[in-house]
Structure 1
Amino acid sequence: MAGTTGPQRTVIADAVVSIDGYSSTGPDDDMSWAMEHIMSPQSEVFYEGIWRGASTAIVGRTNWEGFTSVWPGLTKDPSSSTRTRDLGNWLATVEKVVFSTTLQQADLEKTEWTNARVARDPEAEVRSLKDAPGRDILVLNSASIIQALLKAGLVDELYLTVVPATLGGGLRLLPTDHASTWQLAGTTTIPTTGAVTLHYRRP
């Protein structure tokens, strides 16, 4: 029997890119080119306005391994800012979907983070998540997943933070074989680092 369905959840893709369009230098990217921006107090305030509205986080294998190796230490470090620790606690406990063709559930359970599960098919999984109860679904800086969801028409909002650095090569965030149209919803400048965040919504 058909039931009444409410509005779908919003899928937000959030990514940091260089001014020449790359989201990383490659598989072993250490993000050093973007860390000044990511850890700046102004950026922390801005990003808090995004992640506090989400009840599901999506990452790929590379970011999962990078995040779980760095964030537990940042979260426990007494010298970390309150916002850094708050974000670290949120990342540790929020529902997390990790897209990977190689990781197993047992691999996720070796980390300090909880409430994470492995998934294989980004399009099918995100379609299901959009229909499930919850708040926003936040895709965290995972280029391959963002590309797949853009091609499937499943990204509702896009935050691109452009860092004043060129990488000269690596992994581009946006797919080269997909065309789409967006509306500008807002811009934010981070004066201390020179970064600019562009917030787009689907028309």
Structure 2
Amino acid sequence: MTDVTPRRERRVAAEVTVSMDGYSGTGPEDDMSWAMAHIASEESELHYEGIWRGVSTALLGRTNWEGFSAVWPTITSHPDSSARTRELGEWLATVEKVVFSTTLEPGELDHPEWTNARASRDVVGEVTSLKARAGRDIMVLNSASIIQTLLRANLIDDLYLTVLPATLGGGTRVLPEGFASTWRLASVATFPASGAVALRYQRP
């Protein structure tokens, strides 16, 4: 008997940690010290695991690629890392990764410990094509410029904002200027230890 069950279209999620005043970082040299207590907590690990296990394609920009691929192999293999952290590191190392950049040269994504990565210059075209392919969901890894481009193109289905109890006073904004939209609150999670609140919004 032929299976005629319709295939669910892949959803595109954006997951990002933001300050109370709406910034995801202070700039290129941001060490994320304002967010690390939360990011490294067991509460955060458990929450984030519930997101990434449903994802089979990760999207990131060149800066995040260079930072993540430089530090995560060490984190993954460190004996003090938790089991969840090691599993996340292994997922990051092997999951399909699309790195958006206009300056990447051939071979720059070759990495002995971070595989399955390719470069693209067309954010909207690439994500539209990915949504039409079979697979689990697609997630942007904390890249504000990609999130803004996809928001303007109405290509983000789930917006995960983890708001930390800190203000940065300036830096990189997640939401684009002049962008108006309406969302539905899908879930809320609180983290008593860090004071963070995780909000999941979906397009209505």
TM-score w.r.t. length of structure 1: 0.95
C-alpha distance in 1 between matches for 2:168 and 2:48: 23
Displacement of 1:33 after TM fit? Answer: 1.2
Displacement after TM superposition at 1:166 (Å): 1.0
Matched ranges for 1:1-203 at <5 A: 6-110=7-111, 112-203=113-204
Q: Superposition RMSD on alpha carbons, in Å?
A: 1.3
SS at match of 2:107: helix
- Structure 2 distance, partners of 1:202, 1:43, is 24
Q: Tell me how far apart the structure 2 counterparts of residues 5 and 96 of structure 1 sit (CA, whole Å).
A: 26
SS across alignment from 1:74: helix
SS in 1 for 2:21: coil
Q: What is the alpha-carbon distance in structure 2 between the residues aligned to residue 105 and residue 119 of structure 1?
A: 11
- Tell me, in whole angstroms, the C-alpha distance in 1 between the residues paired with 2:124 and 2:196: 31
Residue identity over aligned pairs, in percent, reads 65
Cα 1:115/1:188, change in 2 over 3 Å: same
**Matches of 1:104 and 1:187, distance apart in 2:** 41
2:70 and 2:111 mapped to 1: Cα distance? 11
Alpha-carbon offset, residue 104 of structure 1: 2.5
Distance of 2:6 and 2:119 partners within structure 1: 27
Whole-angstrom CA distance in 2 between matches of 1:67 and 1:111: 14
TM-score under structure 2 normalisation? Answer: 0.95
Residue identity matched to 1:84: T
Following TM superposition, by how much is the alpha carbon of 1:5 offset from its aligned partner in structure 2, in angstroms? Answer: 7.3
> What is the deviation of 1:112?
2.2
For residues 111 and 179 of structure 1, do their structure 2 counterparts lie closer, same or farther at Cα, with a shift above 3 Å needed?
Answer: farther
How far apart are 1:111 and its partner, in Å?
5.2
Unaligned runs of 5+ in 2: none
Of residues 51-60 and 100-109 in structure 1, the stretch that sits farther from structure 2 once superposed is: 100-109
Q: Give every structure 1 segment of 4 or more consecutive aligned residues whose post-TM-superposition deviation is greater than 6 Å.
A: none
Bigger mean CA deviation after superposition, 23-32 or 122-131: 23-32
Partner Cα separation in structure 1 for residue 47 and residue 111 of structure 2: 31
Amino acid at match of 2:179: H
Judge conservation of contact 1:68–1:111 (CA < 8 Å) in 2: no
* Aligned residue pair count: 200
